[in-house]
Amino acid sequence: MGQPITLNVAILSAAPVVDGRLGEWSGLAEKSLRAEVQPALEKDPNNQTGFPDVAIYAGVHGDRFYLAARWPDTAADTNHRPWRWRGGSYQQDKKIFDDGFAIRFHMDGDYDTCMLSNKDYRVDLWRWSAGRTDLSGLAEDRYQVFTLNPTEGAAEHPSSYGTVYILNRSDAGDPIYTNRKAPKEQQGEVEPSITLTGKGSGSIVDVTAKGEWKDGYWNLEMSRLLRTGHDDDAELGHGKTVSAAVAVFNHAANEHKSVSNTINMVFPP
């Protein structure tokens, strides 16, 4: 990856409506950046995103942080591993994924741009998905821990430093959605594989988010309190400089994404 890039977080005169329409950000060109994302894995045949530019805006109004992002995508993929009626029963289509966007903020430890480094650190992860969280008006609030020390429940990844353990967990609280079992009787040719709970609560629902696909672009807005009081969330604002990075998913999941350089977000006092 390249050198870190700086984004000066603006003080907003009014709170944007989190609706995926970015007209309210048009006067903040000097407080935005264009971050080129690139495939997280070299020569990844399952990466559909490539090397696009992502326009990113960031601002603070009152006690809330607002983020907007815009990136090219030829189609809005809003189904995620749906159930398809085949041969008299529903079978899950495991090759269909929704579009998505994620941003991670450094919380503690020795932050590194690379997820497979020899450093121990923890990040706050906001993950929006077009087919899973968008209808709820939220993003999943999660956290990740990266370490060379064996960790219960962590995924193991080989690296040049040995095994890197990555723990990826939802923040505390009730989930936004749950996996839906296959219907026993035919309802339609294609049925969703997730069900919105309508009762998400706790730290997992700290982040409001809404996307809109239009004219070959995804437009996304996200917002969260600068300080939530939860120990699984990064503290933002108040003159801090917080290292962050974004990832874009195009009809893909897990490691099949494109990621940015480190973005150093400079918050106003």
Q: What is the residue-level pLDDT of the chain in tens, covering all 269 positions?
A: 678 999 999 999 999 999 999 999 987 766 678 899 999 999 999 999 999 999 999 999 999 999 999 999 999 999 999 999 999 999 999 999 999 999 999 999 999 988 889 999 999 999 999 999 999 999 999 999 999 999 999 999 999 999 999 999 999 999 999 999 999 999 999 999 999 998 889 999 999 999 999 999 999 999 999 999 999 999 999 999 999 999 999 999 999 999 999 999 999 99
Q: Is residue 162 within 8 Å of residue 119, measured between CB atoms?
A: no
Which of 60, 26, 82, 32 minimizes the C-alpha distance to 194? Answer: 82
Q: Is 258 helix (H, G, I), strand (E, B) or coil?
A: strand
Which pLDDT belongs to residue 28? 78
C-alpha torsion angle, residues 222, 228, 231, 232 (rounded to 10) = -10
Longest C-alpha distance within the chain, in Å? 62
The pLDDT, as a whole number, for residue 129 is 98
Q: Which CATH architecture has domain 5-78+98-144+199-266?
A: Sandwich (2.60)
pLDDT at residue number 46: 93
> Residue 1: its pLDDT value, please?
62
Whether the Cβ atoms of residue 220 and residue 207 lie closer than 8 Å to each other: no
Strand pairing category for 263-266 and 5-8? parallel
CA distance 264 to 236: 12
CA atoms within 13 A on the CB side of 68: 25
Which residues are CB-contacts of 135 (< 8 A; sequence separation ≥ 6)? 196
Q: Is the Cβ–Cβ distance between 109 and 121 less than 8 Å?
A: yes
* Residue 49 · residue 252 · CB < 8 Å: yes
Output the six-digit token pair for 12: 């907003």
Q: Whole-prediction pTM value?
A: 0.95
Residue 29: its H or E element: none
